[in-house]
Amino acid sequence: MPVMKMANITTIHHVSLLVSNTGRALRFYRDLLGLEVDETRPAMNYPGAWLRVGTAQIHLLELPDALRGTKLPEHGGRDRHIALEVMDLDGVAAELEAAGVACTISRSGRRALFCRDPDGNAIELVERAKIC
């Protein structure tokens, strides 16, 4: 297969995550993590939602029992995941803990932690590097 040059790829537009219940997923992503629902996106012929993350988006796709029976690694850093940049990792960690969301610290030594949404999708939360 010939090697293609991907110079025209400039950013990630959106990432899709499978969820078994859109309402429950929105309580995690919108209500706990604070992501805004993008009501301007076109309706699809299945349940789901679009969430804004800076200039990119997360598309929640409802598919009941999508991950049933899937064995997930204990640490989300060893699983497919989406990484979200945060300003205050300690504050986010405290809010997740108060909400009963289990987290593990990144094993790379970076200021990051991993958690899972109610459907088991792994989320990495990386603290934005502070510029002196």
Nearest-angstrom CA–CA distance, 127 and 15: 20
HSE (side-chain half, CA atoms, 13 Å) at 92:
24
What would the pLDDT profile of 11-24 be if each residue is shown by its tens digit?
A: 888 999 999 999 99
Q: Which residue has the tokens 């009501």?
A: 39
Q: What band does 129 get if pLDDT is binned at 50, 70 and 90?
A: confident
Homologous superfamily, domain 14-127: 2,3-Dihydroxybiphenyl 1,2-Dioxygenase, domain 1 (3.10.180.10)
Q: What band does 6 get if pLDDT is binned at 50, 70 and 90?
A: low
Nearest-angstrom CA–CA distance, 126 and 108: 11
